[in-house]
Structure 1
Amino acid sequence: MPARKPLILSALGRLFTVAMVASLLSACMPRQLLVNSAADALTAQGQAEEEDIGLAREASAFYLKVSESLLRQTPGHLPLAETVASGFTQYAYAFVAFEAERLANTDVKAAQQLNERARRLYGRAHRHAMAALNQTSPGFAAALAQPQAALWPKLRDEQVGVAYWAAASWGAYIALSKDDPDAVADLPLAVRLAELAWRTSPQHGQGDLASLMGSFEAARPGGSSAKAAAFFDQAFALSGGKSPGPLVAKAEAIAQAAGDRPAFEALLKQALAVSAGRTDLSSQIMRQRAQWLLDSADDLF
C-alpha cells in the first residue's frame, strides 16, 4: 500500500474556519462558485501533515464527512475527489485494517468485523474516485472494461492522482473480498487502471505509483516477483530514499511470500532506520507496521 500522502490531514480549527468563511460568503456568491471555493479550501487543508497519530484518527472522521458531502455537490472537482478517495483509503488501511490484523490471533470475530468495515471504506473511496473519472471523462469505466486495448480510456495528467487512488482502493477492496468471486474477478481491471496511470506519469507521488505497481505485480496471477521487486526498488529511489513504505511493501509482497525470513527482517529494519526521526504521519504509520511485522515474524514464518 501507498505510504507518502498525508493521512489526515488538518486540525478541526482549520475546518471550522473553512465553514465560517463559506457561511460569510454565501450571501454574496453564486452557489456553485461557493461550492467550488470551499472545495478548493478543503483540498488545500487536506495537504497539511498531522504529526500526531491519535489526533489524526480523531479528526479524520469529521474531515472526511465534510469533504465527502462537498464532493457530492461537485463530483468533477478532481483535487477534492483525490483528497476524499485518499482519505478513506488511508483511514481504512492505517486505522481499521491494520487493527484487524493485530487482533486476528486473539479475537477473530472483532478482526472480521473490522475487515468488513475496512472493505466498505475501500469501496467508498473507489466509488468516489471512479465517479470523478467518469464525470471528467464520460464513459471512463465502460471503456476501462473493454477487452481491446485500443478502446481503453486515456488519462490526462490532472486525472492521474484520482486514478491512482481508484486503483489503490480497488486493490485493497479486492484483497479483503477473497470470498466474493465477482470482486476478485475485477483484479485485472484494477491492474489495468494502475497501468494507465503509470503510462501517463510513472513518477507520480514520488514513488507511490511505482510501489502500487509492485504490489499489483506481486498479487496478480502469473505476476513476476523480480518485476515486482524492481518496482519497489524504483519507488524507494523516487522517494529519495526517504519513504519506508516501499521497503515494507517489498518485505511483505516479496520476502514473506518467498519464505525468506532474513530478507524480510533486513527490509523491515531498513524501513525502521529510514523512518527514524521522521515525524510525518505516513512514516510513523509505516514504522508501526514494520515493527509489528518484525515482532510477528515467528508467526509469519
Structure 2
Amino acid sequence: MGTYILRRLLQMIPVILGVTFLIFVMVYGLPGDPTIGRCGERPCPPAYVEKFREEHNLDKPLLVQYVLYLGAILHGDLGTTYTGRSVAHELAIRWPTTIKLALMAIVIEIIIGISAGVLAGMRKGKFIDSLVTISTLVLISIPIFVIGSLAQLIFGVKLGWFPVTSTSGTFYQLVMPAFVLASISIAYVARLMRTNLVENLRADYVRTARAKGLSNGRTVGVHTMRNSLIPVITYIGVDLGALMGGAIITERIFNVNGVGNFLYRGILTKDGSIVTGTITMLVLVFLLANLIVDVLYGVLDPRISND
C-alpha cells in the first residue's frame, strides 16, 4: 500500500505543473490591462502603472513570471492581491468556512444519495424506485442557482426555518447552503448507486450466496454493497474537489464568506493573484481528494493496490 500511495504522489507532480501553467497562462497571457479602472475614470499615471507592473512581475516575460510564481509557491507564498493583501492569509481566513460547507454537503450527499439508491435498487420497478428516479431527474434538470433561490424563498423567507444569508458561517447558517450545494450530487449518487446495485444483484456470487441461505439484507449489506460502492466513491471523491470550486455559486447566493466568494471577487476585479492562487489551492485539494479515493480503492478491493 505504501508503494501504491508513493506512486500516486509522484504522478501528481506533472499534473500540478501542467494545470498551474495552464491557469497562469489563461490569467496573465490574455490581453488586458489590470490597472484599468484603478484610478477612477481617469487613466492611471505612467509612474503608477510602471510601479504596479514591477511589483507584480507583470513587466517580465510570461515564462519568467510562471517560474517566479512556482518558486513563491514552494515557499508557501501565493502572491499578493492588487490591493496589497496576502492571498495565502485571505485564503486561510476563508478555508474553514468553505471546508465546513463542502464536508456538510458531502455528508448529506452520502447519507441521502446512497440510501435513496439502495432503496431504489432493492425495490426495482416498484413505487420507491420510480419516485427516486423522477426526483433525481428533476434535481439534475434544475440549475443550482435556481435551487438556491427557491430554497431561500421557501425555507428562508416563507417558512423562516433557516437564515437567508450565512455571513458568519455557523453550522446552522450553513445547513441550507449545504443542502443546495449537495442537491445535484445527491441525484447523481442515488442514480449511480441504484444502477450498480441492480447490476450486482444479478451477479453469480449473489445467487450463490442466496442459495446458501443468506438473508437478502445480509447478501446486500455484506456482499453486494461493497462492490457497488466503488464507482460511487469515485464520484464522491471527484465531487469533493468539484464542490470546493462549485461553491462559488452557492457562496454568492447565500453570501458565505468562503473561498468561492473570494474567487468570485477576484474574477470580478480582474485580480490575477487572487484567481491563480485560489485555483492553485483548489487543484491541490482536488488531487488530494483523488488520492484518498485511490487509497479507499485499495481498502475496498486489495487487488487494485497491487496493480
Coarse TM-score class (shorter-chain normalised): under 0.3
Q: What is the TM-score when the length of structure 2 is the normalising length?
A: 0.25
- Structure of greater Rg: 2
Q: Which has the higher contact order (CA 8 A, sep 6+)?
A: 2
Q: What is the TM-score when the length of structure 1 is the normalising length?
A: 0.26
